[in-house]
């Protein structure tokens, strides 16, 4: 099983007929969801099983803040293998290893301070016919780096990562770099969204960009891995600010 992955209680979020449920069967995560009024009444229904390669590394850390009552405990799992489908109206979308689908799990428990911001970038896929992904995540608390590469089930720790991004023009390619040259990536967007709500004292705003990565990364042993367009490594980058 993945290291530190030990949850057993299901999570259920329900309002009326709509719900989303995360459960565990063995070492797999089962995601079920039903939103009958979503997509202008078409409705959304999902049932997907997410598996992870045995003994694969993941990220687990506790992040403190200046306020001693605030904290974040987070686990991030990349390169999960899905099996299931999402139905929107009368159309089904199938997700499995045969059509190069992958999953990412962010399991977080927190007591945030009133003001907070973060950046998160993630991708999962295959490189050299081996599972490959990364989690590039920073921005809040007195934290250690949560930046890591995953290659064939093994994690490779990274220092701080920089985004070179113009959020006013999210259609432009995004550069993601490390000072020690272990990460040099370009994310070419295929879709972006600007999201948020501003109620004065309560505010959350941010941007999400989805697309394909090219470039190179360096493992702990010094080996460089080139990511080409033909690898079709898909992921996203986001930047959010909250006040609540």
Residue at 3 is within a domain: no
| C-beta of residue 187 within 8 angstroms of C-beta of residue 211 | yes
Task: Specify the pLDDT at position 6.
Answer: 54
- Give the domain range for residue 203: 18-243
**Rounded alpha-carbon distances, angstroms, from residue 227 to 115, 131, 224:** 36, 13, 10
98 token code pair: 């045969």
pLDDT in tens, 149-168: 999 999 999 988 888 877 77
Q: Flag whether 13 is in a domain.
A: no
User: Per the domain annotation, does 49 fall within a domain?
Assistant: yes
Burial readout 148-177 (b: 16 or more C-beta within 10 A, e: otherwise): bbbbebebbebeebebebeeeebeeebebb
Phi and psi for 146 in degrees, rounded to 5?
Answer: -105, 25
What pLDDT is recorded for position 1?
A: 42
Position 205 scores a pLDDT of 84
Q: Does some domain include residue 1?
A: no
Number of domains in the chain: 1
**In-domain check, residue 123:** yes
Is there a domain that residue 4 lies in? no
pLDDT of residue 157: 93
Interatomic CA distance for residues 58 and 18, integer angstroms: 31
Residues of the chain with pLDDT under 70: 1-9, 139-145
Judge whether 8 lies within some domain: no
Q: Give the end-to-end CA distance of the chain in Å, rounded to a whole number.
A: 37
- C-alpha dihedral (91, 194, 137, 70), degrees to nearest 10: -110
pTM, two decimal places: 0.88
* Alpha helices (H) along the chain: none
């Amino acid at each position: 099983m993945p290291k530190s992955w030990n949850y057993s209680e299901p999570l259920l979020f329900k309002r009326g007929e709509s719900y989303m449920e995360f459960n565990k069967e063995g070492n797999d995560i089962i995601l079920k969801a039903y939103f009958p009024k979503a997509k202008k009444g078409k409705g959304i229904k999902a049932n997907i099983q997410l598996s992870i390669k045995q003994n694969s590394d993941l990220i687990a850390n506790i992040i403190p803040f200046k306020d001693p009552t605030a904290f974040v405990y987070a686990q991030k799992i990349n390169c999960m293998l899905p099996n299931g489908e999402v139905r929107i109206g009368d159309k089904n979308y199938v997700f499995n290893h045969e059509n190069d689908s992958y999953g990412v799990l962010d399991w977080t428990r927190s007591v945030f301070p009133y003001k907070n911001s973060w950046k998160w970038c993630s991708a999962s896929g295959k490189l050299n016919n081996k599972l490959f992904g990364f989690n590039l995540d920073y921005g809040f608390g007195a934290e250690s780096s949560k930046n890591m590469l995953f290659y064939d089930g093994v994690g490779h720790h990274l220092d701080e990562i920089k985004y070179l991004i113009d959020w006013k023009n999210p259609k432009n390619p995004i550069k993601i770099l490390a000072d020690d040259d272990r990460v040099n990536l370009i994310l070419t967007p295929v879709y972006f969204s600007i999201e948020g709500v501003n109620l004065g004292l309560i505010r959350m705003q941010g941007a999400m960009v989805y697309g394909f990565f090219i470039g190179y990364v360096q493992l702990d042993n010094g080996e460089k891995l080139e990511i080409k367009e033909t690898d079709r490594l898909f992921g996203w980058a986001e930047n959010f600010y909250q006040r609540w």
